Amino acid sequence: MKKVIMCDLDGTLAESKSALSVEMADILCQILRRHYLVVISGGAFSQFQKQFLSHFSCSPELMQNLFLFPTSGSTCYKYDGGEWKQIYNEELTPEEREKIKESFREAILELKLDLSPTYGELLEDRGAQVTFSGHGQEAPIEVKESWDRDQNKRRQIMDILKKKIPEFEIRIGGTTSIDVTRKGIDKSYAIGKIKNLLNVSDEDIIYVGDALYKGGNDASVKKTEVDFIQEDGPSEVIEFLRQYL
């Protein structure tokens, strides 16, 4: 039995940009009775509030066992005294964020990508992270799933970005996204942070994600010594979590 269960959000606890299900919310509350729960995603804290927290309600005592790591682990929030408090923030400077966004624009032009129609922002400035989403942040799930199934479009964009901005961490995110943070800021970085915060070891943690394959946004977990398991979507994750109940 692990002390800490660490989960990806999009594609793991919930479908991409979709609300947490009632069944998942109930199971996670039960998990918090016996374990620490850590949720990490490329989304900003505002996305966690919309997608996760607004559909999740446990007693204050249990909520204190929940840690949130938005923007790929570059920030961390803990429930304390009835509110969410930021523990740290590896924010990019305005100049760094503009350089990243301009590099994305140049790559899109170079590849002559047609990203219309767009739903929301193509490039979202999340402070500690800049995120590109094919067809926009608010694209319907069916549009997201059909745009880049084999990740070929995003890999071409990444190849260009790695030449333009090699000083940053660049990785494929959710269904259509590419996330850029400071060098070294990834999910393995978040694991190091939670180990220090909770005074636990690698052996005390298990990571659950849907993208542990090479190049996936969970793959950096393999740089650590924590146990991990690949699950394909919320229904599989629910069955896995039942083992801990």
C-beta neighbour count of 120 within 10 angstroms: 12
Mean pLDDT, rounded, of the chain: 94
pLDDT tens-digit map of 30-63: 999 999 999 999 889 999 999 999 999 899 999 9
pTM of the model: 0.90
Residue 126 confidence class, pLDDT cut points 50, 70, 90: very high
Residue 74 backbone dihedrals phi, psi, to 5 degrees: -80, -10
138-160 pLDDT tens trace: 999 899 999 999 999 999 999 99
Q: Are 146 and 125 in contact (CB under 8 A)?
A: no
pLDDT at position 84, please?
Answer: 96
Give the separation between CA 89 and CA 9, rounded to whole angstroms. Answer: 19
For residues 167-180, give the mean pLDDT: 91
User: Would you call 31 helix, strand, or coil by DSSP?
Assistant: helix
Helix 94-111 vs helix 152-164: angle between axes, to the nearest 10 degrees?
130
Strand order across the beta sheet in which 168-172 lies: 123-125, 130-133, 177-182, 168-172
Q: What are phi and psi of 186, to 5 degrees?
A: -155, -165
Confidence band, pLDDT 50/70/90 cuts, at residue 1: confident
**% of the chain with per-residue pLDDT over 90:** 87
Residue 173 confidence class, pLDDT cut points 50, 70, 90 = confident
- ∠ CA 130-208-237 to the nearest 5 degrees? 115
- State yes or no: pLDDT of 215 exceeds 80: no
User: Got the DSSP string for 84-139?
Assistant: EEEEEE-PPPHHHHHHHHHHHHHHHHHHT----S--S-SEEE-SS-EEEETT-TT-
| Residue 16: pLDDT over 90 | no
Dihedral sign for Cα atoms in the order 147, 150, 153, 157: positive
The pLDDT-based confidence of 23 (bands split at 50, 70, 90) is very high
- Model pLDDT, residue 217: 84
Q: Is the pLDDT of residue 205 over 80?
A: yes
State how far the Cα of 132 lies from the Cα of 135, in Å rounded to an integer: 9
The predicted structure's pLDDT at residue 174: 80
> Which residue ranges form the domains of the chain, and what is each CATH number?
4-90+185-242 (3.40.50.1000), 94-182 (3.30.1240.20)
